[in-house]
């Protein structure tokens, strides 16, 4: 069974388009659970119109008191009956093959607990923001992708969250066993908590294909800062360099309490490892710490050692050609 957890709050301008895109999927969902957090516009009326047309598929719940984003999604997921739950914002537009693509992806990878995808950026008029390109161009740099694919999923998320909730799907069994919503704070939202808990065990998946149109507009509740198109052509570029992956201190306070002792050891080691890759003898030092890698990363340690060796060689090349960024 496939469920959609859709949270609303004053979503009148865009809700109908989003609901229509969900209902027109090539692989139909079994239910859409809508939890409204106290809308004062016609959001609930719009949702009710769709419910009347699909009474066996759409359920609407109105909160007596505002819950906020995380608690509202926690409530919506708890009301879902499906084994796979798709998170949905009220103002995006799903591409018609999203559910089919993700369902097929998860069926072929039973070990994956949660997955996130790329997205096209659109404005309030549903026009593609071509200047900015796709979501991953803003939030998931190529080197970060290589780091993720090498098996360093948890480490990849220490600097920032790459998994936008509006693109995510998660197995309900994972939510029941890991309780990621319990770790949410105003600065540590549910999508980040889910990604960290899934990445810790190597159970987080990524689809590099855009499967939704992610809307950017002035009234949205969450989302990242979108620079002005006039702020220069390099606004989107991050240094393609290992220094970029030093853990961000503002995230560590939220991450450390929710992960295992071995994962905390990996988090603490990554700072040493990143500084290690800057040394001239990094290649030899990495080879001598094989036991440490095996302890931290288990059967995947050789793949991660190879990644670090490539990074050390790459940094050496950047240093010798004087192309390393300034601190």
Q: Where in the chain is the domain with CATH 3.90.550.10?
A: 2-215
Please enumerate in sequence order all residues whose Cβ is within 8 A of that of 287, keeping only pairs 6 or more positions apart, or say none. Answer: 305, 309
pLDDT band at 41 (very low <50, low <70, confident <90, very high): very high
- Residue 220: what pLDDT? 53
> What are the pLDDT digits (tens) for 282-294?
888 888 989 999 9
Residue with tokens 């593609």: 128
pLDDT at 102 over 90: yes
Which value, to the nearest 10 degrees, does the dihedral of the CA atoms of residues 294, 296, 299, 300 take?
Answer: -110
Bridge partner list, 6: 34, 88
CATH architecture of 2-215: Alpha-Beta Complex (3.90)
Strands (E), the chain: 2-8, 31-36, 58-62, 84-88, 93-94, 114-122, 169-171, 204-215
Average pLDDT over residues 70-77: 97
DSSP 56-75: TTEEEEE-SS---HHHHHHH
In this structure, are residues 223 and 124 in contact, taking their beta carbons and an 8 Å threshold? no
Q: Within 13 Å and on the Cβ side, how many CA atoms surround 282?
A: 22
> What confidence category does residue 196 fall into, taking pLDDT thresholds of 50, 70 and 90?
very high
Nearest partner of 268 among 158, 164, 117, judged by Cα? 158
| Sign, CA torsion 123/60/71/63 | positive
Taking only the tens place, the pLDDT of each residue in 304-316 is: 999 888 888 887 7
Give the pLDDT score at 133: 79
Interval 241-264: pLDDT, tens: 444 456 666 678 888 889 999 999
Residue 249 confidence (pLDDT): 65
| pLDDT score, position 46 | 98
% of the chain exceeding 90 in pLDDT: 63
List C-alpha distances in Å: 164 to 88, 108, 189, 245, 287: 10, 22, 10, 19, 36
Classify 326 as helix, strand or coil: coil
Q: What phi and psi values does residue 33 have, to the nearest 5 degrees?
A: -100, 115
Give the lowest-confidence range in 156-165, 208-217, 235-244.
Answer: 235-244
Residue 286 confidence (pLDDT): 87
**What integer is the mean pLDDT of 71-86?**
98
- Three-state DSSP class for 204? strand
Tell me the pLDDT tens digit for each residue of 4-18: 999 999 999 999 999
Bridge partners (DSSP) of residue 60 are 34
pLDDT per residue as tens digits for the range 161-194: 999 999 999 999 999 999 999 999 888 999 999 9
The rounded percent of the chain whose pLDDT value lies above 70 is: 88
**Worst-scoring range by mean pLDDT, 45-49, 58-62, 98-102, 147-151?**
147-151
* Residue 125 clears pLDDT 50, i.e. is over it: yes
pLDDT at 290: 92
């Amino acid at each position: 069974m496939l469920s959609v957890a859709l949270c609303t709050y004053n979503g009148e301008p865009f809700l109908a388009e989003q609901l229509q895109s969900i209902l027109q999927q090539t692989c139909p969902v079994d239910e859409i659970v809508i939890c409204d957090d106290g809308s004062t516009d016609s959001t609930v009326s719009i949702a009710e119109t769709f419910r009347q047309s699909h009474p066996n598929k759409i359920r609407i719940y109105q909160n007596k008191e505002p819950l906020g984003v995380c608690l509202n999604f926690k409530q919506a997921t708890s009301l879902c009956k499906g084994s796979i739950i798709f998170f949905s914002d009220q103002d995006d537009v799903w591409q018609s093959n999203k559910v089919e693509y993700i369902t097929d992806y998860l069926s072929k990878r039973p070990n994956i607990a949660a997955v996130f995808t790329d997205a096209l950026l659109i404005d309030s008029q549903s026009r593609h923001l071509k200047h900015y390109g796709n979501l991953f161009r803003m939030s998931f740099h190529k080197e970060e992708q290589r780091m993720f694919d090498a098996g360093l999923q948890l480490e990849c998320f220490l600097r920032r969250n790459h998994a936008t909730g509006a693109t995510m799907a998660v197995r309900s069994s994972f939510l029941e066993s890991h309780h990621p919503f319990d770790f949410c704070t105003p600065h540590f939202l549910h999508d980040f908590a889910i990604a960290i808990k899934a990445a810790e065990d190597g159970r987080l998946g990524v689809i590099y294909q855009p499967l939704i149109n992610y809307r950017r507009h002035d009234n949205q509740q969450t989302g990242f800062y979108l620079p002005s198109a006039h702020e220069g052509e390099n606004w989107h570029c991050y240094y393609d360099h290992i220094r970029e992956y030093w853990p961000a201190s503002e995230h560590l306070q939220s991450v450390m309490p929710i992960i295992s002792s071995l994962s905390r050891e990996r988090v603490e080691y990554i700072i040493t490892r990143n500084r290690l890759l800057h040394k001239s003898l990094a290649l030899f030092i990495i080879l001598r710490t094989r036991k440490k890698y095996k302890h931290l990363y288990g059967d995947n340690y050789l793949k991660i050692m190879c990644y670090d060796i490539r990074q050390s060689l790459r940094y050496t090349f950047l240093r010798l050609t004087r192309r390393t960024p300034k601190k």
